[in-house]
Amino acid sequence: MRPILPGLSRATTPENIYAQRFIIALTVTLASVLELLDTSIVNVAIPHMMGTLGATLDEIAWVSTGYVVANVIVLPISGWLSNQFGRRNYFSLSILLFTIASVACGNATTLESLVFWRIIQGLGGGGLIATAQATLFETFPPKEAGTAMAIFGMGIMAGPALGPTVGGWLTDAYTWPWIFYINLPFGIVALLLSLVYVPDSAVQKKAESIDYIGLLLLAVGIGTLQTMLERGEKYDWFESAEIITLAITSFVALFAFAIHELETRHPIVDLRITKDGQFSAGLLYAFMTGAVLYCTIFMFPVYAQSLMGYNAFQTGMFILPTAIATAIALALSSKLVARGVSAKLMVLLGTLCFCYAMWLHFHFTTESGAEDFFWPLVMRGFGLGLIFMPLNNLAMANMSAENIADASGLYNLTRMLGGSVGIATSATLFSSLQSSQRAYLVEHLAGNDPSTMQRLEQYARFLFSKGVVGPATQAKAQALLSLTVEKQAMMLTFAKLFLSFGILLACALPLLLLMKHKGFASSVELH
């Protein structure tokens, strides 16, 4: 076959696909990193966008919401789309759509055009992760699947974690459009590599008919659910008629979708695979893992910047050891499982590591510094890294080659929805816990309490040393005391949330009893 680029030949035969397997792994991982980076990179630039586009906070929120909603709608049907168009074509088209939309987002001059192109960007990005995972399962033999998942897992973990840091740096150093322009060179490279190296599936088969009803029900159900999760905390959840309407619509649409897909001859998502107990247990575990992953990614930067006063770059440096530890754990777990160590044992150890890390997070104080963060963050990353690949493999263990694409889409959708639910719940709990902690502390600050009086005197002496004298001294001392109370209430809130994350993942451990497979999936080997 004539090479499509000088020195390169398209991966078509099992032999050259196997020979090029690491290039294929890097290609699909690069595309997935771009997609996941864009789920979080925008948030830090929101204030700048508001100023440029003249939008309110409620209006600008659709820049994030539109992307995520489009993303989660495409995720579960990516297997079906891959079969319809061919895996290489679908994956390459998704990258192209994502890249073009990125440039269009950077060039947007109105809120409406920006939201439109973010939706298009989400539609392109949604097809990347599940398709990438299915490609890796077919490309690598079972004995090497762990290595592939380790490469892929590093991208999955690093993308959301680095988004705020990269976005903050680009926004500060240049302007907000550059958070979109940065995708252009990497998107072009990923597209070229995809056209050359990403193989078509050996088992793909076009559907005899298109399940339009299922597609519509899924889009409505997932779209309204994600919108509810994105906007719920802002509108005080079920105190809002809008949120109630979204919740009812989502429930009805998803229930009807499930019934329809189980009965139709040509489902757009084959839900019959959820009858496998091991896969269903894996989905639940992935949901909880996604929740704690995204909660910690969301909460720690807020903790470091809002409470501790660090900037975005410094926060990114704190997170870097977490990413390194995750990469090490991914590589280690893949090697150990490949050599016969139980995947269930790896998931158990990873869960315990994460829970211990959250216990250490629980003991952070307002006096904690960078040296106090290091080992808890390393332990957190190491624990999640031990979980990712073995859990993924356990969930897919009983899936046939024909079902891998559907299973990957559902698995990744579940993990992402877990993240969305986790973040929404965390934001709500943060507000309520902070209020209750503040009320508790204020209640114990009686005006005639000796400790309170002592603290006010300390503040007064401090102010005097700074040249503050006269009647204003007492008022400023009271203000400092109020600030201390607010800071302490926030600290206690973060501590309780971190502990809750550990407890949540610990609650998933009984699901391991439903998982019997101990090694790499063998049913998807095509070599």
- Write the pLDDT tens digit of every residue in 26-46: 888 888 888 877 776 776 677
Q: Of 265 and 94, which is predicted with more confidence?
A: 94
Q: What is the CATH number of domain 273-444+496-527?
A: 1.20.1250.20
- Cα separation, 106 vs 175, whole angstroms: 10
- Residue 12: what are its φ and ψ, rounded to 5°? -130, -45
- Cα separation, 131 vs 200, whole angstroms: 11
Cα 150 vs. chain centroid, distance in angstroms?
17
Average pLDDT, integer, range 72-97: 83
Average pLDDT, integer, range 128-141: 78
- Cα separation, 226 vs 244, whole angstroms: 13
For residue 526, what pLDDT band results from cuts at 50, 70 and 90?
very low
For residue 522, what pLDDT band results from cuts at 50, 70 and 90?
very low
Q: For residue 152, what pLDDT is reported?
A: 76
* pLDDT exceeds 50 at position 412: yes
Q: What is the CATH number of domain 1-207?
A: 1.20.1250.20
Q: For residue 11, what pLDDT is reported?
A: 56
Q: For residue 356, what pLDDT is reported?
A: 94
Domain ranges of the chain: 1-207, 212-267, 273-444+496-527, 445-492
Three-class DSSP labels, 439-464: HHHHHCCCCCCHHHHHHHHHHHHHHH
* pLDDT exceeds 60 at position 3: no
- Cα separation, 324 vs 329, whole angstroms: 9
Q: For residue 138, what pLDDT is reported?
A: 76
Cα 312 vs. chain centroid, distance in angstroms?
19
Closest CA to 284 of 14, 513, 59, 40: 513
Are 1-207 and 273-444+496-527 the same fold in CATH?
Answer: yes
Q: pLDDT, tens digit, for every residue of 180-216?
A: 898 899 899 989 988 888 877 766 666 566 778 887 8
Q: pLDDT, tens digit, for every residue of 340-381?
A: 788 889 999 999 999 999 999 888 877 777 778 888 888 988
Mean of the per-residue pLDDT values of the chain? 77
- Cα separation, 507 vs 501, whole angstroms: 10
* pLDDT exceeds 50 at position 417: yes
Most confidently modeled of 149-153, 420-424, 456-460?
420-424
Q: For residue 350, what pLDDT is reported?
A: 93
* pLDDT exceeds 80 at position 336: yes
Question: Using the 8-state DSSP alphabet, how is residue 519 labeled?
Answer: S
- Cα separation, 522 vs 431, whole angstroms: 47
For residue 517, what pLDDT band results from cuts at 50, 70 and 90?
low
CA-CA distances (angstroms) from residue 138 to 18, 147, 155?
Answer: 10, 13, 19
- Cα separation, 267 vs 91, whole angstroms: 21
For the chain, the straight-line distance linking the first and the last C-alpha, in angstroms and rounded, comes to 22
- For the entire predicted model, the pTM comes to 0.75
Closest CA to 8 of 195, 142, 286: 195
Which two tokens mark 400?
A: 């046939």
Q: Where are the alpha helices (DSSP H) in 311-369?
A: 312-338, 343-362
Q: pLDDT, tens digit, for every residue of 273-329?
A: 888 888 889 899 999 998 888 788 777 777 777 777 776 667 767 777 777 788 788
Q: For residue 313, what pLDDT is reported?
A: 67
* pLDDT exceeds 50 at position 524: no
Q: For residue 316, what pLDDT is reported?
A: 67
Do 411 and 392 meet the contact criterion of CB atoms below 8 Å apart? yes
* pLDDT exceeds 90 at position 176: no
Where does residue 506 rank: exposed (0-12), middle (13-18), buried (19+ CB within 10 A)? middle
Q: For residue 1, what pLDDT is reported?
A: 42
Q: For residue 79, what pLDDT is reported?
A: 75
Most confidently modeled of 152-166, 179-193, 295-309, 425-439?
179-193
Average pLDDT, integer, range 404-409: 76
